[in-house]
Structure 1
Amino acid sequence: MNLNQITVPTTDIESSLGFYQTLGLKLIVKSAEYARFECPDGESTFSIHVVDKTPNGNGVMVYFECEDLDATVADLKQKGIRFYQEPTDQSWLWREARLYDPANNHLILYYAGKNRKNPPWRIN
């Protein structure tokens, strides 16, 4: 089994389209209520769909892996993307920066290297 795509809700497709294109995703499908993007690395896709109301509370959390996290964050900040957490080394051995998309979905840009799938506490 392989993860194909993640879809997150939005109430404003146009602002979400611009946001995700600024992040570097390539738009490949677009309608009035749905859009799908290719991720710049790998084979995964990411999509947004229009809903009447986005979920309350923590909602969706999506992780995008970046080879050079600090440079990626600096570049996105220059393009006007705001982060609520700067790149930070976490106790689970990932380096993460956190932000919200226009629909308040949580996005985490991170780098984990070998610890992504093989942390020291991995169950064999």
Structure 2
Amino acid sequence: MKLNQVTVPSLDVKKSISFYKKLGLRLIVEALPHYARFECVEGDSTFSIHEVETLPVGDGVYVYFETENLDEEVSRLVAEGIQFEHLPKDQTWLWREARLKDPDHNQIILFFAGDNRKDPPWRIDE
């Protein structure tokens, strides 16, 4: 089994499309006002947005997008007016990450982990 598709809720799919296009995702399905799907620039994953009447309560959804050029990508987005909760920072779990929220307050983490994503020093071997 492999994970290849993630969908997040949105009150305004059209507004979210603009945001995710700025992040660099490629729009491949636009079924307004209810749905949109993107493909990631690297790999084979897709990401979509679906319209909801109300957003989930609590912390909501966390979505991680990895890029080897994290600092450069964040600088590009800041120059385009995207606001970050925190700029790239080295984390204790050996990832470098920046955090922001999409228009519906879904937590978006841009990060680079390299081999540490799947093979951290504390990995459990079966």
TM-score, scaled to structure 1: 0.98
Match of 2:43 in 1: 42
CA positional deviation for 1:45 = 0.2
Counterpart of 1:13 in structure 2: which amino acid? Answer: V
Match of 1:18 in 2: 18
- Residues 50-69 of structure 1: pairs in structure 2 closer than 5 A: 50-69=51-70
Segments of structure 2 that go 5 or more residues without pairing to the other structure are: none
CA positional deviation for 1:47 = 0.1
- Residues 69-108 of structure 1: pairs in structure 2 closer than 5 A: 69-108=70-109
Partners of 1:59 and 1:106 lie apart in 2 by 7
Segments of structure 1 that go 5 or more residues without pairing to the other structure are: none
Partners of 1:34 and 1:66 lie apart in 2 by 25
Q: Deviations over 1:62-121 (max 9, x none)?
A: 000011110000001111111001101000000010000000000000000110100000
CA positional deviation for 1:57 = 1.3
